[in-house]
Amino acid sequence: MTTPRTVLITGGNRGIGRAIAEEFVAAGHRVAVTVRSGEGPAGTLSVVADVTNAESLDAAFAEIEEKLGPVEVLVANAGITRDTLLMRMTDEEFEEVLDTNLTGSFRVLRRATKGMIKAKFGRVIFIGSVVALLGSAGQVNYSAAKSGLVGMARSLTRELAGRGITANVVAPGFIDTDMTSVLPEETIAQYKKNIPAGRFAAPEEVAKVVAWLATDDAAYISGAVIPVDGGLGMGH
């Protein structure tokens, strides 16, 4: 039996983040999600926050702590893409992706660990990507940001594992979401040919791995990169 925890998921109102929030709610946890607009799923506390702004995050944490208690489980999921080939990529397109996907995760992590250190308990799960180590044409910015999360999780493990805090990366491959549903059929077929499992994952398949990492059973796992990619990234 896993102890009910206070869980924060950044970017929890759609796609993978929403599925993760629903999974934690179903498991009986107290769940908050950050949104820039819209609402999280039923049973969650939605707080407006921008991961690129530390003051915005401080306000969000204050609201969560007041209504649900200190954050014990952090799922850093908020992310954006600005895909284009390297020679066409502007400084702004590179920096925007890093500021949200990597530095944004750092800002949320820095704020969350204050309470975790005090409680001598914490679970940090970064949502990475198969492209972090596999690479992807047109995603120099996104790949760099996602691979940076691996170093962040492992450095955090070196710093805080002795205080009951774990940090891991879940690395999804291609997932059935609104983003992939608009791809041309030929592109989807080509992607599926490269995936040993021969299909995209459902968001719920990622969510279940994330939720398990937050359980008491996963207390001795830290600094790991767990792929949920149907075998696409094997060997990386």
Cα end-to-end distance, the chain, whole Å: 34
Catalytic residue chosen out of the listed positions 24, 126, 142, 174: 142
b/e per residue, 162-180, with b = 16+ CB within 10 A? eeebbbbbbbbbbbbbeee
Amino acid 192 reads K
Rounded Cα distance, 132 and 146, in Å: 5
Rounded Cα distance, 89 and 82, in Å: 9
Among this protein's residues, is 142 annotated catalytic? yes
Structure token digits, residue 86: 């390297």
| Cα-based angle 165, 166, 171 (whole degrees, multiple of 5) | 150
The β-bridge relationship of strands 44-48 and 165-172 is unpaired
Question: 15 phi and psi, to 5 degrees?
Answer: 60, -140
Rounded Cα distance, 33 and 27, in Å: 16
Identify whether the C-beta of residue 59 lies closer than 8 Å to the C-beta of residue 49.
yes
Identify whether the C-beta of residue 94 lies closer than 8 Å to the C-beta of residue 140.
yes
**Active-site annotation, residues:** 142
